[in-house]
């Protein structure tokens, strides 16, 4: 495990905590919950069982593929690659797929590849809302509310306030937003 990333030249010892496997699992829970809530929305979106399960399985495969995409195309540029400082554990898995990328291209790669997974946040909503409008159903409405709360409130809040809070490369990370918005989070 590297204490200092070769491409980002960041001193982790003074700035970071390491995560156990249990903590990594906990940090992945909102994404896992999003996957299964999204799949459940597909299952009750279609009357045909074939289309229902096809939609749900496709969504699950897309969600797992999306995490692999992040590991292959973003993590090798991250200061947390192959360290236990990565809050979700992708960094150590990513090291099994690809070597560390030379140069400091995290920001550029993040902006380029994060769009691959963004539809995961919207496809279940686009599938479920027309069903609620056409033929109101409480299970669908409750699933949609749970999905939206988890995907758009809990998941980003956990990332920004917990996982990314102490990240040494947060100033170059597009996920964290403009630097002016982050001042309040800086340790005094
Ligand atoms: S912090 Fe994000 S980009 Fe960095 S290694 Fe972990 S998952 Fe990948």
For 21-72, the DSSP string reads HHHHHHHHHHHHHHHHHHHHHHHHH-SSHHHHHHHHHHHHHHHHHHHHHHHH
Among 14-23, 101-110, 160-169, the range with the most confident prediction by mean pLDDT is 101-110
- Flag whether 160 is in a domain: yes
CA of 110 to the centre of ligand 1 (A): 10
How confident is the model at residue 97, as a pLDDT?
A: 96
Residue 10 in contact with ligand 1 by CB distance below 6 A = no
- Flag whether 179 is in a domain: yes
Let me know: does 179 contact 107? Beta carbons within 8 Å.
no
Q: Is the pLDDT of residue 110 over 70?
A: yes
Identify the CA nearest to 155 among candidates 88, 55, 61, 64.
Answer: 88
CA of 138 to the centre of ligand 1 (A): 37
- Flag whether 2 is in a domain: no
Q: Which residue has the higher pLDDT, 8 or 97?
A: 97
Which residue in the block uniquely carries the two structure tokens 């360290």? 83
Residue 80 in contact with ligand 1 by CB distance below 6 A = yes
Question: DSSP 3-state assignment of 4?
Answer: strand
For the chain, the domain total comes to 1
**CA-167 nearest atom, ligand 1:** 1
How confident is the model at residue 107, as a pLDDT?
A: 87
Please calculate the CA angle 106-38-160 and round it to the nearest 5 degrees: 35
| Percent of the chain's residues with pLDDT above 90 | 64
- Flag whether 1 is in a domain: no
pLDDT per residue over 45-80, tens digit each? 999 999 999 999 999 999 999 999 999 999 999 988
- Segment 116-133 shows an average pLDDT of 96
Enumerate residues 6+ apart whose C-beta is below 8 A from 40: 56, 143
CA of 91 to the centre of ligand 1 (A): 5
**CA-71 nearest atom, ligand 1:** 8
Which residue in the block uniquely carries the two structure tokens 């496997």? 21
- Flag whether 26 is in a domain: yes
Let me know: does 135 contact 143? Beta carbons within 8 Å.
no
Identify the CA nearest to 40 among candidates 158, 170, 146, 118.
Answer: 146
Nearest protein Cα to ligand 1, atom 1: 86
**CA-110 nearest atom, ligand 1:** 3
| Percent of the chain's residues with pLDDT above 70 | 80
Residue 173 in contact with ligand 1 by CB distance below 6 A = no
Could you tell me the pLDDT band of residue 103, with boundaries at 50, 70 and 90? confident
pTM for this entry: 0.84
Q: Is the pLDDT of residue 82 over 80?
A: yes
How confident is the model at residue 186, as a pLDDT?
A: 42
How confident is the model at residue 185, as a pLDDT?
A: 41
Average pLDDT along the chain: 85
Q: Is the pLDDT of residue 118 over 50?
A: yes
Nearest protein Cα to ligand 1, atom 3: 75
Could you tell me the pLDDT band of residue 10, with boundaries at 50, 70 and 90? low
- Flag whether 8 is in a domain: no
CA of 90 to the centre of ligand 1 (A): 6
- Flag whether 5 is in a domain: no
Q: Is the pLDDT of residue 127 over 50?
A: yes
pLDDT per residue over 139-179, tens digit each? 999 999 999 999 999 999 988 887 777 666 676 676 665 45
Q: Which domain holds residue 164?
A: 21-185
Strand partners, 4: 11
- Flag whether 117 is in a domain: yes
């Amino acid at each position: 495990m590297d204490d200092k990333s070769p491409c980002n030249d960041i001193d982790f010892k003074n700035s970071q905590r390491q995560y156990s496997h249990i903590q990594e699992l906990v940090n992945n829970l909102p994404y896992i919950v999003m996957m299964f809530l999204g799949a459940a929305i597909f299952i009750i979106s279609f009357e045909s069982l074939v289309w229902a399960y096809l939609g749900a399985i496709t969504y699950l495969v897309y969600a797992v593929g999306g995490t692999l995409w992040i590991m292959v195309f973003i993590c090798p540029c991250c200061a947390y690659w192959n360290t236990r400082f990565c809050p979700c554990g992708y960094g150590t898995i990513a090291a099994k797929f690809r070597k560390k990328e030379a140069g400091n291209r995290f920001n550029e790669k993040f902006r380029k590849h994060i769009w691959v997974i963004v539809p995961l946040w919207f496809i279940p909503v686009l599938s479920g809302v027309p069903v609620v409008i056409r033929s109101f159903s409480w299970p669908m409405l409750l699933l949609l509310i749970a999905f939206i709360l988890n995907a758009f409130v809990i998941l980003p809040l956990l990332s920004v306030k917990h996982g990314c809070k102490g990240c040494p490369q947060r100033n170059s990370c597009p996920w964290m937003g403009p630097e002016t918005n982050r001042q309040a989070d800086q340790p005094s």
